[in-house]
Structure 1
Amino acid sequence: MAGLMVAGSFLSAALNVLFDRMASKPVLDFLRSKKLNQNLLRKLEIELWSARRVLNDAEKKQLTDPAVREWLHQLRDAIYDAEDLVYEINSEAELSELEAGRSGSHTLFQVQNFFSSSKFTVPNIEERVEEIHSMLKYIVEKKDVLGLREGGLETRHFPRLSEAPLVNDSDIYGRDADKEAILKFLSSEEVGGGDKKVSVIPIVGMGGIGKTTLAQVVYNDIDCHDINKPFGIKAWITVSEESDVFVLTKIIYEAVTMKSPDSCIKQLFQLQLQLAELLRNKKFLFVFDDVWNLNYQRWSDLKRPLQSAAHGSKIIVTTRSTEIASVMGSVPGHELQMLSEEDCWRLFAKYAFDNVEASGVQELEAIGRQIVEKCKGLPLAIKSLGCLLHSERSPQEWEYVLKNDIWDLSERESNILPALWLSYYYLPLHLKRCFAYCSIFPKDYEFRKAKLILLWMAEDLLQPQKNKTLEEVGEGYFKDLTSRSFFHGERNGRFSMHDLTNDLANFVSGESCLTSDANYSERLLRKTRYLSIDGNKVHDMQQIEEISKNKVLRTLLVLGKSYALDEHYKKYPEQLQSMRCLRALSAFKNLSTYEEPHITKLLDSISGLKLLRYLDLSYNYGMKEIPDAIWTLCNLQTLLLGGCSELIALPNSIGNLKHLRHLDLSRTIIEKLPDTICDLHELHTLKLNFVKNFLVYQATSQR
């Protein structure tokens, strides 16, 4: 069911943004200038309001009624279609305004020719509005048949956290004996099993019980422990569902060296020879976290180069599977048990009361202990609800959580932990949308806060606030989600989601948000709106072809490098032109195989994406210049060109990107910025890190 879930509150928040956009001056002025029937948008708005009134009831009933879930799917698609059309109209209006501002300049002839091109018009506006209106009317008429009531159950949400309680990684409860057992294993010179040098201990337990947390504590504390021969190499390898030995060997190599192997290495034995040489006679500690799919043969192949290491090297494996523990372990697996009742309460109290003695909140303790009991000894569930209730001191609100029937519904209808679903359920609408968007990231993917906020901006998920920039608003959203334990920090300033939290994000985003590291149907790949491609895992050209046929895609993120993607986009970069709805595009990193003609063709194809707000072309080594047509991306807010080591200049037309807020030129060879850079009045961030030949440009006015 998780893949079929649609959050009604997600749609409700989307409608708020859509209504504002429909009533905006640029949209209304454009319709008047084209002598289009403005009553069409009003009719559309009426139907949208009718649907909105029953969304709260639909969100609850969809858990048990498949017909309501399907109704929400249809409504979601209609809302997305309406959004796309209104955004196209708004962008066309801004382009028309830009054309007027450029008239009289030496580029006027180019601009007039440009606007005569069919790709910069909004085709069949009235026909498309009528089609969306008819579909919405059909959908809204079915609400009575489904028994959906206006108003329904109002979603309650708790106040914004004043400050998240700071938690040290080593500050865990009920795991002292487990920690000492693992440290004892690491300090021992004994090697179990048939391996002569490397020993492996699995930490085994169900999802959310704290396997990764325990491994992190030991990994961080090992250097402080009294061990005669400390490990010369330490590396954390997130395995998750990956089972390809070449990919995993590459991940291990990168974790050890902090760099990618030579691009010419495409055979497993070549890569393993390099890894074996790196580890030769060195004592290492590896953590293989969250292992799902390694069988005996794959594990035998994967560990072959590890045997060159020094005697006493150790591997910690975390897994839910006792079978995998048996295959990989050289000693018996260390099985984590549920926390004791008192440890559960101490953990909950830490987050809910911010280390205040329970005597200070005696009225809440009885309710809190009943809530903890429902979490069934799982630390992740306990922490999640403790964070949820951190800023709430009303016994009545705690009772709402305790008696919410989602405890029963979620457990019966899905694999999502009820505590996690409740934490999501009580989020404010604006945070629900931002969290659901994060389902675009694969499990265990580590993301940077700044880039995530820029993606939220590109998708209009941040609500403007007085006296705050959008970046500051995004910082607040991120802080709220982190303090509620939806994100957790990783090394080097990166964040990730627990795999069960990632399941929750996928649960609420449904089919609209996918990662292509799994096998999806052709229908799904063509209709999804938000998509990430894990370049390290996608090797199926047929799947890539299907993605290219998606005409409604809004976000396309290519994560990592894929030779299959390289070859595909060398031949078919023009397929991007059909993705008229794209707002965020991050692709083609580390394409050292690209030649300049392919880069030019690629950039020309992107110039037709007038809704684009976020463009990440970092580390395109063959890119020497940006085409003048960049100015047509009138909505662009973020342009990331860092690591384009052959980029020598920006075109003057960049000054026409009046919404540009973030420009990254780090690690390029640009020597001077064009004068028109001063026309970018909304520019918030300009990165010039490691630009060796850059001549400081003295602006004539303070920005």
Structure 2
Amino acid sequence: MAAKLYGGAYLSSFVDALLEKLTSLLQDDDSSLVERNNLLERLEKSLRDVGAVLDDAEQKQFTVKKVKDWLVDLQDALYFADDLLDQLSTEAATATPRDPGISASCSSLVDSYIEDSVGCIEKVVGKVESVVARKNYLRLKESAEVDMSSWRTPSTSLAVSSDIHGRDKDKEEIIKLLLTDTCHAQSPFTVIPIWGMGGIGKTTLAQLVYSDAKVVENFDTRVWVCVAENSDPLYVIKTIIGAIDPSPCSMDNFDVLQTMLKDKLIGKTFLLVLDDVWHGGRDTWENLLKPFRYANNGSKILLTTHSEKVASMFLATSQHYQLGLLSDEDCWSVFSKHSSISTNLEKYATLESIGRNIVEKCKGLPLAVKTLGGLLRYKSDVGDWKKILESEIWEFPEDESEIVPALRVSYHYLPSHLKRCFVYCSLFPEDYQFDKDELILLWMAEDLVQPMENNTLENIGSIYFDELVARSFFQSSSAFAGLFVMHDLATFFAGKFFFRGFGNQRMVDSKTRHLSCNRDPISRFPEACDRAIHMRTFLCVDDKANEIKSDFWLKQFRCLRVLAFQKCKNLLMPDSIGELIYLRYLNLSWTPIVTLPESLCKLYNLQTLKLSNCYYLEKLPSRMHDLVNLRHLDIGGTRSLKEMPKGMSKLKHLNLLGKYIVGEHEENGIRELGPIDVHGSFCISHLENVNNSSEALEAKMGNKKHIDILELDWFSDGDTVDVENERDILKELRPHKNLKELSIDGYRGEIFPDWLGLSSYSNITKLKMHGCENCRELPSLGQLPSLQHLEISLLDELERIGEEFYKNGESCLEGTSFGSLEYLEFYDMNGWREWHIPDNLDVFPKLKTLIIRDCPVLIGDLPACLPALELLFIRECEELACRFPIAPKLQRIHVNGATGIQVVYKCDSVTLLPLGALPNLKTLTISECPRLVSLPALGFKN
């Protein structure tokens, strides 16, 4: 039987989560808790009663205002119930047992709390009961239980052009406008506004035009700026300058920035895309665009906007390019592709008929068609298709939000838990670039990720995220790899409970639970937030530093689950932080904090603590091991931090640690890593504090299969080193074979353990060896089958690289070595004299970049043939006397690191092969080589 497409009402998963918490609390039948349990049983009954009518209420809220108001009141009451249950469970978990035979949940502290708080519990339960009772007056119907299992749509990665149907004519007309050498009488550039309703494909079309070969060839400079809600001229002009010149620009003087931009545009023909312009006065834009008048004639500005009024600021209405709706046939092409409906299905004729009716209801809007096609992807049950077609949501009238019914229906059919996750994203500004892993941490902190057996919360959150991507609610950013953007549909469903920014001067509602700020001084918040005392989320999504008075936040908002103060100046973290018993996510990254209060360790529920780039942080609280629910501790870039607190091994749920600083004592030594299953990127520093191999063995690095990137760092302490002991220590730090990248810095042994060159490490793609000053021999790295990037530096005792570098003792010196290597760099190798390459071995067949610098005694030789070499850089190698390798792909000099570089610098003796060995060489630079042996007649042509 096919799974139902309708995943349940928005509040269904919230009610289910509360029932789960209640079940846990009601399992305790201690006589002293009878009164409490009676109240909780009443709460449970109300939740079960209301759960049955939520599906009906979900659909009626758009047509019956009283139902919509009731859902708002119900959600408010559920938040109060959630706070209550979290407080009860936290008090139970952190209380001291009365004696070893009694559980913590029955402690005297909890008994006292229950006795003092029965009235408070009664008030919350009464509020829920009162709201639930109103359902009878609204004539809400009980519906059959909805299948809550989420169906999954395969994630795809399609080129932008493959999503375009019916836009060929639009594309060619816009390209024609861009390439036509016309301009206004008083300006060298032309503005071309494209406008149309949300979801019609303006941005997609602009991207297609922007990357067209004819357009790329026609303009000296192309710049893309996503304006969205941020039409601040300072932001726009800095973004433009940053796109033209990647050098950091911290200037905030508008006049200076205008002059800088003018200088960069003089003599150039440019194309500027201003994508998603929402507002802004005509005078503001005219002033902003003054520097563009100094560019060449034929320059163009392509503007996309949903508003004809905005387009009119730039050109008369008759000159706008209004993007029209797609034809039904083109919409059907989009729908067919995204639904993957197969013509081989027996039911195809029936499904096509239903599908075409669905497409007709989308009224030519490609985003709606694509979204609904994705919703039905690989679904062949006729009933599933009819549910979409016959849904009442199609009949709902349009409102001020301009959210089209087709997008509403795609949201309507999301599973309940995904609805809540998506709506939470309404805290992000439109077109905000967000990170998948960061968003999952926020969902976890808000209890939006529900546990599944045999799966981590992070993995479950990843499943949620991928489902939203598959349904086109999230899309990959076109500007930044690895980041995502979303449609602003989320704000339509957020209501009073979510508040984003203060640009509209509104006061925050008393029902607000989630708040974010961007571009607004945090100092304005106390007055605006005075009523939102039950707030659960405060997110700062601005990149600018802010002044903040943390005392206000910590005293005013005791229900916070998420608190993000990153980049806040003059931040002091008071002892009262320990009173935020609900807190699960705390971000203090890029702040000037020096220490953290010990009271932080009272935060029993804390899951995520972000302290990255807190440069002045000197120590962590001593009782960090009390944070037993901590899953993510980010201390990357905390350069003043000297050691870890004691007892980190007690943090059994720690998933991401980032860095561990080995201490001098057993309680904070390397053994503490044993029970911790670290994920992702991980650095172990101060390995000089490891005394022997048995300590290293207890770190159990070989069991940590989720580490992708590993860095092992020693810091010289000036003492005499037992090199055999060092080798044994590194031997026992052997990582799991899933490892992808490895860096070894400061290792003090003379040779490396055998594991480092084993071919079984088939996933390693990148390896760095730096500052291993005692090393006399390299491991057999040529056996690593997937190694693509290798850097070796500051190995002062290494004099010769020989056969051992390519093959281990068990392999014959034949065949291919370093078969996947593309990048090889040696630098600061003061003792390296000889590089030997065995005659019978095929080495470096895919090597594209070879860099040798600051190797003052190296005398040769280089590999004889490097068939894929594109870049050869040799510098400060005074004794080098070598023949260039046969490198047919070596082409030109390009000093910024692009392919095709050949530079030879400060090499006293160089022998060049005849030109025939370098048939594609166009440019060769040789400088400060006073003992050059021979220079062939290169015969360059202009």
TM-score normalised by structure 1 residue count: 0.84
- Structure 1 counterpart of 2:468: 481
When residues 201 and 358 of structure 1 are mapped into structure 2, their CA distance, relative to the original with a 3 A threshold, is farther
Q: Please tell me whether the aligned partners of residues 623 and 646 of structure 1 are also in contact (alpha carbons under 8 angstroms).
A: yes
Moved over 6 A (4+): 30-35, 98-101, 120-123, 354-360, 689-693
Please state how far the C-alpha of 1:574 moved relative to its aligned partner.
3.5
When residues 257 and 672 of structure 1 are mapped into structure 2, their CA distance, relative to the original with a 3 A threshold, is farther
When residues 658 and 258 of structure 1 are mapped into structure 2, their CA distance, relative to the original with a 3 A threshold, is farther
Quick one: percent identity of the two aligned structures? 38
Q: 1:470 aligns with which of 454, 457, 466?
A: 457
Matched, 1:430 2:408: no
Q: Which amino acid aligns with 1:641?
A: L
CA distance in 2, matches of 1:98, 1:356: 67
CA distance in 1, matches of 2:50, 2:95: 33
Q: What per-residue deviation string (whole Å, max 9, x for no partner) do you get for residues 499-526 of structure 1?
A: xxx23x22323211121244364351x3
Runs of 5+ in structure 2 lacking a partner?
1-6, 101-107, 660-679, 691-695, 705-942
When residues 336 and 150 of structure 1 are mapped into structure 2, their CA distance, relative to the original with a 3 A threshold, is same
Matched, 1:454 2:441: yes
Matched, 1:555 2:537: yes
Q: 1:527 aligns with which of 511, 516, 528?
A: 511
Q: 2:599 aligns with which of 617, 629, 632?
A: 629
Paired residues for 1:281-360 under 5 Å = 281=267, 283-309=269-295, 312-329=298-315, 332-353=319-340
Q: Which is further off, 88-97 or 127-136?
A: 88-97
Please state how far the C-alpha of 1:634 moved relative to its aligned partner.
1.4
Q: Which amino acid aligns with 1:237?
A: V
- Structure 2 counterpart of 1:86: 85
Q: Which is further off, 344-353 or 66-75?
A: 66-75
CA distance in 1, matches of 2:148, 2:272: 42
Matched, 1:238 2:226: yes
Q: 2:492 aligns with which of 502, 507, 513?
A: 507
Q: Which amino acid aligns with 2:16?
A: N
When residues 357 and 493 of structure 1 are mapped into structure 2, their CA distance, relative to the original with a 3 A threshold, is farther
- Structure 2 counterpart of 1:364: 351
CA distance in 1, matches of 2:99, 2:617: 31
When residues 141 and 322 of structure 1 are mapped into structure 2, their CA distance, relative to the original with a 3 A threshold, is closer
- Structure 2 counterpart of 1:161: 152
Q: What per-residue deviation string (whole Å, max 9, x for no partner) do you get for residues 398-441 of structure 1?
A: 11211222111254797431111111121222212211211121
Q: Please tell me whether the aligned partners of residues 658 and 683 of structure 2 are also in contact (alpha carbons under 8 angstroms).
A: no
Matched, 1:401 2:379: no
Q: Please tell me whether the aligned partners of residues 593 and 617 of structure 2 are also in contact (alpha carbons under 8 angstroms).
A: yes
Please state how far the C-alpha of 1:647 moved relative to its aligned partner.
2.6
CA distance in 1, matches of 2:292, 2:636: 36
Q: Please tell me whether the aligned partners of residues 672 and 694 of structure 1 are also in contact (alpha carbons under 8 angstroms).
A: no
Q: 2:208 aligns with which of 176, 200, 217?
A: 217
Please state how far the C-alpha of 1:22 moved relative to its aligned partner.
1.7
Q: Which amino acid aligns with 1:666?
A: G
Q: What per-residue deviation string (whole Å, max 9, x for no partner) do you get for residues 240-278 of structure 1?
A: 23343334334444555568743xx55433443444455
- Structure 1 counterpart of 2:118: 126
Q: 1:207 aligns with which of 198, 201, 213?
A: 198
Please state how far the C-alpha of 1:395 moved relative to its aligned partner.
1.4
User: Larger RCO: Structure 1 or Structure 2 (Cα < 8 Å, ≥ 6 residues apart)?
Assistant: 1
- Structure 2 counterpart of 1:494: 483
Q: Which is further off, 322-331 or 488-497?
A: 322-331
- Structure 1 counterpart of 2:723: none
When residues 258 and 76 of structure 1 are mapped into structure 2, their CA distance, relative to the original with a 3 A threshold, is farther
Q: What per-residue deviation string (whole Å, max 9, x for no partner) do you get for residues 602-661 of structure 1?
A: 3544333121111111211x1233333221121111111222233343233222211111
Runs of 5+ in structure 1 lacking a partner?
1-6, 102-114
Q: Please tell me whether the aligned partners of residues 56 and 142 of structure 2 are also in contact (alpha carbons under 8 angstroms).
A: yes
Structure showing the higher strand proportion among its residues? 2
Structure showing the higher helix proportion among its residues? 1
When residues 406 and 701 of structure 1 are mapped into structure 2, their CA distance, relative to the original with a 3 A threshold, is same
Q: Which amino acid aligns with 1:553?
A: M
Q: Please tell me whether the aligned partners of residues 32 and 38 of structure 1 are also in contact (alpha carbons under 8 angstroms).
A: no
Q: Please tell me whether the aligned partners of residues 10 and 58 of structure 2 are also in contact (alpha carbons under 8 angstroms).
A: no
Q: Which is further off, 636-645 or 693-702?
A: 693-702
Q: Which is further off, 672-681 or 551-560?
A: 672-681
SS in 1 for 2:312: helix
Paired residues for 1:167-182 under 5 Å = 167-171=158-162, 172-182=164-174
CA distance in 1, matches of 2:87, 2:49: 24
Matched, 1:655 2:625: yes
CA distance in 2, matches of 1:86, 1:417: 38
When residues 255 and 391 of structure 1 are mapped into structure 2, their CA distance, relative to the original with a 3 A threshold, is same
Please state how far the C-alpha of 1:283 moved relative to its aligned partner.
4.8
SS in 2 for 1:492: coil
When residues 255 and 47 of structure 1 are mapped into structure 2, their CA distance, relative to the original with a 3 A threshold, is farther
Q: Which amino acid aligns with 1:510?
A: G
Matched, 1:619 2:604: no
Matched, 1:701 2:710: no
Q: Please tell me whether the aligned partners of residues 586 and 615 of structure 1 are also in contact (alpha carbons under 8 angstroms).
A: yes
When residues 543 and 578 of structure 1 are mapped into structure 2, their CA distance, relative to the original with a 3 A threshold, is closer
Q: What per-residue deviation string (whole Å, max 9, x for no partner) do you get for residues 431-475 of structure 1?
A: 122112111212121111111111111111112222221111111
CA distance in 2, matches of 1:158, 1:285: 48
When residues 470 and 540 of structure 1 are mapped into structure 2, their CA distance, relative to the original with a 3 A threshold, is closer
Q: Please tell me whether the aligned partners of residues 18 and 82 of structure 2 are also in contact (alpha carbons under 8 angstroms).
A: yes
SS in 2 for 1:239: strand
- Structure 2 counterpart of 1:111: none
CA distance in 1, matches of 2:284, 2:152: 46
CA distance in 2, matches of 1:94, 1:257: 55
When residues 423 and 208 of structure 1 are mapped into structure 2, their CA distance, relative to the original with a 3 A threshold, is same
CA distance in 2, matches of 1:547, 1:175: 47
CA distance in 2, matches of 1:356, 1:588: 53
CA distance in 2, matches of 1:544, 1:443: 25
Q: Which amino acid aligns with 2:43?
A: L
- Structure 1 counterpart of 2:139: 147
Aligned residues: 654
Q: Please tell me whether the aligned partners of residues 92 and 122 of structure 1 are also in contact (alpha carbons under 8 angstroms).
A: no
